[in-house]
Structure 1
């Protein structure tokens, strides 16, 4: 018989407060349980378990709910808000948490979209001497890594996951692309690479922008996945 973990009264109260906030704000924010599921990379049913007190909130989920509902964690979970405070750097705002010491795993070149689109197996599409920009990352890379700068608004979303123009994304050419992966791909009829979300539905594969106004593009033999995006960041100086 499967054991069901019983939530504490405090955890149940957290769920009640969270559900009340979601119900009161979802219309004005234009947010759905599926939007939350996409941001958390879980199923819509799992989101319902959080809201209905079947699964206890953890800190990571609480921070995502906080961001999407535009409320502090303390509005629905005083106990998890204390964890946020405990993890925060003293000199920073309480919504900024300390993730530990930065330990770079490697340095990777910033390529142009044309160079990325010309990627061939077992062959670098660039000359090391021609690369002027190299940036570090602490993400473990399984293949060969390179950075690209996001152009256009196809990956800009009003809510949930969003990677606007100007952000830099790190591409791992050795990581397997799965349903929901953010990928850099090359269509046979294009000279440059493109950055989209990979959607696999009923055996059919699509490239989809995070911007809801961009339609999904079905792909088959006309597309080659160059790599999976594993990090996004933006510089202000």
Structure 2
């Protein structure tokens, strides 16, 4: 396996994004992206550092960029059964006003909810469902979250540019659901409906969590 494919697979396995890896290595995220997408070849020291930061060790990098596993690295591995089921349930604790800032999600304790829905996505422990209200995240094509869609928020998932997130104002008890866009060091909350404005993040809000699942009830 090529070293960059191995690293990308490992990052997905342990839930590390390019932004997190870049921060740990004190590098820019676009540089990490170019390395992992083979648009720029790092030196051996950098490759070793990248692999170390995603907990890969005891491997040999050949001159053609392939990774070899010594016996000591795989002798304790075991076969994992495929098609393993994974399912857990989380509560609906509030709604998110998709068209504007809305009621904060912390306002309703999770245990007070009498509405729970299951997911087969692998998530952290601190998740909850929100019901979309408004049409700012309704798109004419591609991914869309029309009013009434249930979105599952994982508060332990790392966010990156392109993530669908719930963000909260730091000085007001309000929250919103948007797409996070990072451009030239600036962060924006972007609606999918072009009729709504893109909101710049200027230290006035924090990311509460990332959308990891969505459901639309048709009946």
TMscore range, shorter length: 0.5 to 0.7
> How do 1:5-44 and structure 2 match up within 5 A?
none
Q: Distance in 2 between matches of 1:195 and 1:102?
A: 32
Q: TM-score, normalised by structure 2?
A: 0.55
Structure 1 residues not aligned, in runs of 5+: 1-100, 119-124
Q: Report if the CA contact (8 A) 2:181-2:188 is conserved.
A: yes
How far does residue 167 in structure 1 lie from its aligned partner after superposition?
0.6
Q: Report if the CA contact (8 A) 1:115-1:126 is conserved.
A: no
Q: Distance in 2 between matches of 1:208 and 1:127?
A: 28
**For residues 155-212 of structure 1, what are the alpha-carbon distances to aligned partners after superposition, in whole Å with 9 as ceiling and x for unaligned?**
0011111111011000000001100000011023543321000000000000000111
How far does residue 220 in structure 1 lie from its aligned partner after superposition?
2.6
Is 1:110 the counterpart of 2:92? The answer is yes
Is 1:210 the counterpart of 2:199? The answer is no
Q: TM-score, normalised by structure 1?
A: 0.51
Secondary structure at the counterpart of residue 105 of structure 2: helix
Structure 2 residues not aligned, in runs of 5+: 1-82, 96-102
Q: Report if the CA contact (8 A) 2:93-2:110 is conserved.
A: no
What is the total number of aligned residue pairs between the two structures?
132
Q: Distance in 1 between matches of 2:126 and 2:218?
A: 26
* Higher strand content, 1 or 2: 2
Is 1:126 the counterpart of 2:115? The answer is no
Q: Distance in 2 between matches of 1:136 and 1:165?
A: 20
How far does residue 102 in structure 1 lie from its aligned partner after superposition?
9.6
> How do 1:42-61 and structure 2 match up within 5 A?
none
CA-atom RMSD in angstroms: 2.4
Q: Report if the CA contact (8 A) 1:117-1:185 is conserved.
A: no
* Higher helix content, 1 or 2: 1
Secondary structure at the counterpart of residue 184 of structure 1: strand
Q: Distance in 2 between matches of 1:102 and 1:160?
A: 30
